[in-house]
Structure 1
Amino acid sequence: MLSKEIRQHFPILNQEINGHPLVYLDSGASSQKPLQVIEAISNYYKFDNSNVHRGVHTLGNRATEGYEGAREKVRNFINAKSTEEIIFTRGATTALNTVAQSYGRANVGEGDEIVITYMEHHANIIPWQQLAKEKGAVLKYIDLEEDGTLSLDKVREAVTERTKVVSVMYVSNVLGTMNPIKEITEIAHANGAVMVVDGAQAAPHMKVDVQKLDCDFLAFSGHKMCGPTGIGVLYGKRDLLNQMEPVETGGEMIDFVGLYESTWKELPWKFEAGTPIIAGAIGLGAAIDYLEEIGMDAIEQHEHEIANYAMERMSTIEGLTIYGPADPGKRAGIITFNLEEVHPHDVATVLDMNGIAVRAGHHCAQPLMKWLDVSATARASFYIYNTVDDVDRLVEGLRVAKEYFSDVY
């Protein structure tokens, strides 16, 4: 496992909540930030604050170098062929909406199919719902296996020659399921469809190689991978991005503006209208530096070990149901659960009183909640700064919650 010294890089963890040392188990919603990232953002504002691309003065050049340097770091991080394929966005949600509104509107027509799964986050459902309504297309769902995994046979049944887009999350933010994206991409391409990947829960935790996956688009957010909020990435294959129209227009993304016609800049700036997210990109670049120094393989291994230990410990609690694959090789560092006859919000409240932060609710995955036949769940999501001691505290807190509500009821 990773050294406990990593925790010292995260100042927010060195505090007490309700009289107890903080145990942060909500990284699936947003990760904490190391000092290296905080200082990179602070230094930009202290020393280099300026707009990018437009000025010839020193501060403008420094800001531009930082911003475009971050783009190269992202390119290398996901092994894209070119920085032209890296678009900075406000987050994974904006990235997915961009694909639906630009590529989707131009290529999906009446009767065409868009294929997704029941486990998708709302950010990978609603843009396709809206596109299907607008175009008269058919939105199809790939059903899940009983353990919350995807069967490639069911993928093959769902994807047909009418399918234009297949959009699937790499890792489920509820079940922790790790989906076989490379194989699904092959099925999509064999039927002439493009493959869109929601990588929000994958990019922070494992090595993502877009060339090996051969996906056409990939979306992820900075705030889940030690970076700041308000910055994300859309990766797209250059040929596809070149064909697409921008969904936001204005300054910076233009080549020439006339009274009645305008032309666009080349990639990637065509999709980055207005003053870009400069500090966010620099913070994301620092986060990538930090994660790569640790090593993505080491991060993935650490989270698997923590999650496996948590599965073993939590399985000893009578009346606790864990959702998702039982096979540890099929799941990431996310454990979603319910305590019998106790609402997950009540569970989360008791845990918070003991200094333990977990998520409770539908996790922006209401279709999946319906599939699970529950209204809500609690979720513990692990990251590089979590330890087996955190898991022990979680299990102890769950036992306290169970005992408290058994007395109440």
Structure 2
Amino acid sequence: MDFLTTRLRRDWWLLPVLAICLIGTLKRDDAHFTQPTKYAAVLIVVAVLALLLREELPEVTVLVNAGAVALFFAASFADGPVYLTVLLSTFALASRRPPRSWLPYVGAALVLIVVGLIHREISMSVKSTLGSVGWISWFVTIDLAAAVLAMAIRNRRETSTERVRRTETEERLRMAQDLHDGVGHGLAVIAMQAGVALHVLDRDPAAARRSLEAIRDTSRESLDALRDELTRLAPRTAPGLVAGPMAGAATGPAGTEPAPRTPRNGLAELETLASRIRAGGLEVELDIDGRGAGPGAEAVAYTVVQEALTNVLRHAGAGTARVRVRAGASLEVTVEDDGSGPTPEALDSSGLGISGLGISGMRSRVQALGGTLETGPAPGGGFRVHAVIPGEAP
């Protein structure tokens, strides 16, 4: 009883449908047909109440409605709007199931109704029978039109849902890449610097101090990057939502969308990046001429250099890394090292077989601007990362 009460509250519009079917049928006066009785009213009520199950059991609903209408016609009751229940149940079924699933049930429902009409028309005149044939054609057309309309609405809804899902997936991937590039890189450098500081603390306090200063600077930059991501994730319902260590991030006016993300680093920050890497024990040679490149291309170039140097620092066992950047029609970035290169297990078709977002994230960022990324052994030994990035996004 609670189920029926709850559904009737939600589907209140079924009560007007029931009233229309009852009044439109019971008040009809036609000498050619048996006058509706309480049995006709029962069939109408059953057909309308079956619509309460249209979400959980749409196939059953359409067959129950068709069966009720078929019995209604077979009993030679006067025509009325009871067939509306079949149209509504057909729409509900087609909006929830693919065509290969709903077509058999709709076809069976139409067959039931036609059988009921044929049974009634056996005792009718030829003129009445021809009229029923026309009615059947009209009803089949309307019923299939309802199914096609429902299918179109369903396809549009699924397309919209898939678009939202794809957008959410792309945004999650972007945030993961940003956290990897910013916080992940910072933590890698901090761990390396902490190891250096512990190693030289007793015999070279000045070197340990430099490592600690690098840890301080890197942690600040990592916190800035994390603050940016948390600010973008915070709901825009009130200013100052990011508190504690993250406080101070611009949140914008209450209820507004976050401002478009702007690149944090470019080619001008490569020297600072190189200094942090050098403090970790890797010599970095810079050869930068990137004048004229757009900010988007510069940001991607910075990310490529950052990821490549971090990988050299962590995996290659190299003493020197060389960074070369040249701007022309495209921004060309090359990072080479003199290490032993990655192990065979670390190589795959995309370059370095790192489980995560390192090389794959680097590649996706470059390709997003229409560029290319190549990774592999350097001609003189070591490893080489080479990216060609269009000066502006296509």
Smaller-chain TM-score bracket: under 0.3
Pick the structure with more strand per residue.
1
**Which protein shows a greater Rg?**
2
TM-score by length of 1: 0.23
| Higher RCO structure, 1 or 2 (CA under 8 Å, sep 6+) | 1
Superposition TM-score, scaled by structure 2 size: 0.23
